[in-house]
Every structure is written in structure tokens, then in C-alpha cells.
Chains A and B, each alone.
Chain A
């Protein structure tokens, strides 16, 4: 434990505030944004971007940008991504202004419609040009919304994937699983909004919260990196007696999580446990043990923990992960990644100026430029690397054109710095072993935050000899 203390974040780091902006593009994004604002988020700015003046006017977001004053004249795009793109280009200057000054930008967009599909990639591009790190939260339309809409959504998702640092993609069809079959369609959409809002807020908190074991943006990117933007995401919160267990169970219940089954295939899982001052070490340990049952032995766990006075009695778990190589290849045919984009007939005219941008933005380059800003020391953990079980592969200069199956492997080796960091942090996480003896495999008895299976004298730190 004392050894842990050495690695506590330095006080000045705790003071640090990462300027974050949450930007919504299009109607669906707007409703998510409204939900985020209504749920309360004190540590980020929000910007609403849309072509439709009416929906903008009714939004609660404090900062609004109207797209395409001449292209759409304050109306929507009518589901035409081309029009959405033109509108965004027309208002490029306003968007730039709105995005200025943020170190990180979250873009929420519902793909498939006009503004979301057309403008979101362009907004992401402007954000990247401004030097921000971009994470996109995209929703794919319901299956019943038609093939054309979903083709438009896939096209846009492919482009977002190229531009943004990370894409977290929610399928509306999956959302159906968490809504009761009898629930109204309105409720189904609302649930989707709530889920996404929760994800955004928990990721903002993940980064903003001063952590005992801090999770940096590099950790987040490492966990989210995937070829097709398919991420596993879970968030749970509980204040019950058995809150560690309950919070984890809730996190695994998330529609993107499939009750933790998906976790088995993940190569890297990021976990943050946050709680009030009452959070105990044994709770965290139990939680991590339980999570350990869902992940593979080889899976690398990026662990972070934070104590936040505002949490009160609650304990929250955030799990973020991406699919692995073989899982990646399965949706490949339906999901055009950038390499296959030119081969597919474009659903709408390919905006010409966006394509060259891709070349100057391979993921590794911006990461390196952003690295010093993210305050993660690169050189310090270098020796740890030698202890890695897997031999490090030589840097592959052209990972992106290789086949999807082999892609993620060089990807994860290509950027060793955040990973090594994590390795170092993992080392710190060697908790003092708290044994439960005979009750090792039974359900833990946790009352008032204490694991009663651990001998009382150990918990009360009374020497018996």
C-alpha cells in the first residue's frame, strides 16, 4: 500500500483541467446533447450544430451553430448527406470558432440522416485541424429505417473512423434489447439517448476526475482503438450494500456489453472505478476479481481509480474496450473501412477535399504530437517493456493497407508508449493480498462496505500474535 502512495498523481496534475467540448451534429445528436445537459455535466462545454433552426431553438444547449444559412435556409437537409456536407462547408468558419480552445472534442451524431452523416465527418475534420483530439459517438439507424439510410450511415461511419481518434458506435437495433417490447417507440429512442449520454458523461468524468490511478487520454485511445469503431462500453453505478457487485453487474448489462460475453474477446479493457471517500480497497479488489472472470487471461487491463467527494455513497464502474482482430474481420464486408471505401460505389458524391486529409492523419502522428500535452511521460516506463510476455513486433509502416485480420496487431504494437505506461501502472496495482480462505469462491458477504469474509482481526488491523 505504501508503495502505491509513491505513484499517486502529483498535486499539480490533479488541478489540471482538460478543456473538453461536446458537440452534437444533426437532430439525433441534438437530442443526445440535450439529455447530457439535462443530466448535468459541469466539466465540459457543449455546442449544438444543426441545419434545422427549429430544433436548434428548442435545444437547451447554451452554444448553438446553425449550418448552411443559404444552403438549407434554416430547414433540415431532408436526409441528404450531400446537402448536409455543403451546409457544413458553408458554415466552416462558425464551426471553427465554436470548436476553438478545446483539447478534446466529443462529437455526437446520429448517422443515416442528412446533417449527421454529411456534416459530422466534416466537423470532426475541422476539430482535428484545430489540434483537438476527437472521439465520435455515433448511432446507427434502426434496421427498419431502410437500407439506404443504413448505407449512408455506414459510409459516414467509415469516414468518421478515418478522421476521428476514436469512434464509439451504438447500434439502435441493439438498444432495442434494453427496452421492454411493449415500450413506446418514443421510449426506445429516449433510452438510446440516455445510454449515449451516460457513456459521454462517464468518459468525460474518466478524464476529468483526479485519479488515484489516473486514466489519461492515451489509455482511453488505447482501449478504444479498433478498425471498425465497434466498441464495448459499460457503465454502472450503485449505492447498495453490495455496491461493487451491483455496479459491475449493471455495467455488464449495457447493450454494448452483451452481459460481459463480448469482453472475453477483447485484447484490452479499460476500467475505471470511482467512488466517494468511503470506497474501500476490498470493494475495488472484489470488483476487479469479478471482472477478471469475464475477460481473457491475456487481456490487458488498463485500470484507473478515482475518489470524488461528489459521488457520496455511490460507486461507479466504467468499462471501455474494443473488439479484437478476428471479431473485426466479421463485420468487415458490411462495414467499409477506409481501404475499401474507394472500391464501393459511393452512396453520395464523395467530398473531394476530405480524402487527402486522411493521408496526413494516420493515427500515430497526431497521437505523438498530442502526447506531451497529455502529460504522460514516455521514457520512464521503457524498461518495463522488456518484461512484456509478447515480443514486440517491429513497427509496421503501412498497417492500414494490410488485411483487416492482421491490422490490429501492428496497430497495437505501433504505439507502444501508452501501453507501456499502463504496464507500469499495472505493476503498481499489486494489492496486498486479502485472503478470504474458505470463502474464496462463494459470493462475497459485503455489509456496510466491508468484506465480512476477511477475518475481522485483519480488517480491524489488530495484531493477534
Chain B
């Protein structure tokens, strides 16, 4: 079928819920047709805490997207986040029977199942099993073993799993609208699909998606996912810190952070102050700029240092050729790339979706990386499905859900 294909990505974030309608062209290009978004309520730290309210917000966002793109939305790809998501690498292996030495698709399927035979906590479910590399009779770095000759097939997988009920909450929220859920995808994995190019994945790159409630990260090396995870700290925490530190309401703290905040210390004049206007427009409280920046800096510094410690548990972080890519709503903070450079000691970039066309205002906003990434992800999975072709690093994804 040559005609193009509509894909809808839905991200239920802590700050905003956004629905991106994209068109997947047969040549692999993606065109964004419309973006619907609403401020999110009933979501904390990337997880739904108030089901009814969150559902209403999702509904509004979907309606918004339908109007803007003039498309009827029936099914969506949903991004999930939350501190319950965990990941690890595991190797599966199968031996071919004596009388056969050509690896076929069934063997690849078997090795995949084998790799998933690890114990995860009983209440958890597999979210993704992402192929890293195959090994045939000890030969490393095989990308597609089907048709190769060998006796022993091994495969390294990166496995992401999370608490079943919490993932199901997100799915249920969408299904009750009612919309079909095509798949659930780990947020950072989706973002990485559009933020990174294939070349950057090969070189090695770290994607940090700092959203409202969570900081998701995913590390690519040799073109494969090596580490991933989610830290339940995000922009909300910065706002909360500001609100408590400066004793101003949350809404004002949020505005102050976006308009005046900077992550880098020492670049403002001594005693430089920001004048806060009160509701009537008259001059209210004065806030020292350095104080504001210190609060932001301390929080982000801590978050990055935590991430660094987590990533340093394995050695991949030392071999990142392309550097760090920061995306998500919080990446709009001034100087966040400089701070990341300082802490991780490698180049840092604020990145937005690279490989899509269409509504440029949406594409160039890092807030939408995840939702656009979902479309890219879905495209990769869909082209992969009918022909069982091995498509780049993405490979085939299972959805452990539903």
C-alpha cells in the first residue's frame, strides 16, 4: 500500500497533555499535521493520581488535536513514565538442532523469548525488549542473523519493565475515552527516535528528557540502547523549590522560572534584582536574581549528578561520542546545556525533534519531542511488522502489555 498512514502520539505529562497527529510517508518521512495540548491536571511525577481529572484533560487534548489537524482520532500510541520503570541488559541464547545450521526467523524469535526469561518482580510487566546485538557462534556485532550459518545464536537485549498496574492505569485512562491504545512506549525511548540521528546513536549519545514530573534518560552506544531509566524529579521540583525558597505561590514561581530562571551561576550583577509585580500590576516583592538561579542550579545539579552516578554503574558513559542531548519542557531553561556540560564533562545540546517536517512550531519545540518520537517509533515498528525485516537499531519491539 503506497498511501500514507496516520499515526497519533499521546503523551500524558505532568504539566501538559499533548497529542500529535503525524503522517507517515512511504519513503519514511514524517509530517506533523497538528498538535493538540492542554495543561495537565491529576498527574504527578508522570503518573496519574486523579483518574477522572486526567481523563478529562486527555479528552480535551484529543479534541483539540482533532480540530487542528482535521483528523478523526481512533487509536493512539501512548508514552509512559514513572519512577517504577526499571531496565537491565540480558543475553539470551539458543542452540540450533544438529541437523540444521541456517538460522531462521523462528530461532530469532526463540532467542528473544529466551532473553526475557529473567525474573522481574511479580507485579511487574515487560514494557520493551530492545535488541542490542546478535552473536553467532561467538561472532560479535551481528545485526541480522537470519540466513547466517551457525550453531549457537545469542542475543543481547535491553529490557525495560515496570509495575503492571501503574502502566495499566495509563492505558485505562485512554481506553475509557474511548480510544484504542496501539502500544505503550517508554517516553525517553520515543524522544530518542527523533532527537538523535542514526549516526549519533552509533557514536554514542545520552538523551535526557526533563519533563514536569520526571527525568527520563536513555543511553545509546554502538547504535543500541544500553541504559535507560526514569527519575521522579522534574521541573515541578524546581518550581516547588522556588516557591518555597522565595515564598511565592506556585503559579508565580513557575512563571519566574520560565521568564527569568537561569541554571548558571555567577553571570548576574551583584545585587541584581527582579521586581515581582503583584496582582494589581504595582511593584511588589523584589527578588535577588542570584538567589533564584542558585535554587535552580542546586536542584538541576543534584539531578544531573544523580543521573551521572546511576550511569556510571556501567562504563558506557565514558564512550559517548555525540554527547548529551537534553529535551523535554525543562530543557528550555537557560543555561541547562552548560550545566550538563559542566557535570558530565562532555558536550551538551538542547535538542528538539530533528527528523520531521510540517508544523515547524511544534517540531522545533523540545516539549513535543516525546509525542513526535512516538510517531517515529510507531513508523519504525509498523514498517517492521509486515515484512519481519530487521530495521536498524529499533529492531522489533514487544509490547509486554495488553
Contacts and interface: CB of A to CB of B under 8 A. Distances in A.
B245 A452 contact: no
B349 interface: no
Contacts of B301: 456
A443 B232 CA distance: 10
Contact of A455 (B288, B299, B309): B299
Interface stretch (B67-75, B234-242, B329-337): B234-242
Interface stretch (A188-196, A308-316, A354-362, A432-440): A432-440
A464 B294 contact: yes
B111 interface: no
Contacts of B401: none
A455 B244 CA distance: 8
Nearest to B84: A443
Contacts of A438: 236, 239-240, 243, 250
Contacts of A439: 44-45, 236-237, 240
Contacts of A465: 245, 288, 291
A242 to B, nearest CB: 9
B231 interface: yes
B240 A455 contact: yes
Contacts of A464: 245, 291, 294-295
Contact of B245 (A441, A447, A455): A455
Contacts of A144: none
B294 A457 contact: yes
Interface residues of B, number: 26
Given A437-B244, A443-B45, A464-B291, A456 B83 contact: no
A187 interface: no
Interface in A449-465: 452-453, 455-458, 460, 462, 464-465
A445 interface: yes
A452 B237 contact: yes
A464 B232 CA distance: 24
Contacts of A435: 244
Contacts of B241: 455-457
B113 to A, nearest CB: 25
A293 to B, nearest CB: 16
A464 B295 CA distance: 7
Interface in A411-459: 435, 437-439, 441-443, 445, 447-448, 452-453, 455-458
B298 A457 contact: yes
Given A438-B250, A457-B294, A445 B236 contact: no
Contact of B295 (A441, A442, A457): A457
A445 B291 contact: no
B245 A457 contact: yes
Interface in B33-88: 44-45, 49, 83
A460 B309 CA distance: 18
B45 A445 contact: yes
A445 B250 contact: no
B232 A452 contact: yes
B302 interface: yes
Contact of A452 (B44, B49, B233, B244): B233
B359 interface: no
A103 to B, nearest CB: 43
B237 A453 contact: yes
Interface residues of A, number: 20
Nearest to B231: A447
Contacts of B288: 465
Contacts of B232: 443, 445, 452
B258 interface: no
B252 to A, nearest CB: 14
A435 B247 CA distance: 13
Contacts of A442: 44-45, 49
Contacts of B236: 438-439
B306 interface: yes
Contacts of B240: 437-439, 453, 455
A351 B239 CA distance: 73
Nearest to A465: B291
A192 B309 CA distance: 41
Interface string B286-306: 001001001100110110001
Interface in A121-147: none
A448 B310 CA distance: 10
A456 B299 CA distance: 5
Contacts of A441: 49
Nearest to B310: A447
A120 to B, nearest CB: 39
A452 B245 CA distance: 15
A458 B298 CA distance: 10
Interface in B197-241: 231-233, 236-237, 239-241
A329 B291 CA distance: 61
Interface in A58-87: none
A253 to B, nearest CB: 13
**A435, A443, A453, A456, most chain B CB atoms within 10 A:** A456
A74 B239 CA distance: 75
B84 to A, nearest CB: 9
Contacts of B291: 464-465
Contacts of B243: 437-438
A41 to B, nearest CB: 30
Contacts of A447: 231, 306
Contacts of B83: 443, 445
Nearest to A455: B241
Nearest to B291: A464
Contacts of B237: 439, 452-453, 455
B15 to A, nearest CB: 12
A445 B244 CA distance: 18
A455 B231 CA distance: 15
A462 B232 CA distance: 23
A383 to B, nearest CB: 37
A48 to B, nearest CB: 38
A439 B239 CA distance: 12
A426 to B, nearest CB: 28
A296 to B, nearest CB: 25
Interface string A249-270: 0000000000000000000000
B295 A455 contact: yes
Nearest to A445: B232
A458 B294 CA distance: 12
Interface string A191-226: 000000000000000000000000000000000000
B302 A456 contact: yes
Given A435-B244, A447-B306, A456 B44 contact: no
A462 B298 contact: yes
Contacts of A457: 241, 245, 294-295, 298-299
Contacts of A443: 45, 83, 232
Contacts of B245: 455, 457, 464-465
27 contacts: A435-B244, A437-B240, A438-B236, A438-B250, A439-B44, A439-B236, A439-B240, A442-B44, A442-B45, A445-B231, A445-B233, A447-B231, A447-B306, A452-B233, A453-B237, A453-B240, A455-B240, A455-B241, A456-B241, A456-B302, A457-B295, A460-B298, A462-B294, A464-B291, A465-B245, A465-B288, A465-B291
Interface of B: 44-45, 49, 83, 231-233, 236-237, 239-241, 243-245, 250, 288, 291, 294-295, 298-299, 301-302, 306, 309
**Which 3 pairs show the lowest CB-CB distances between chains A and B?**
A455-B241, A445-B232, A456-B298
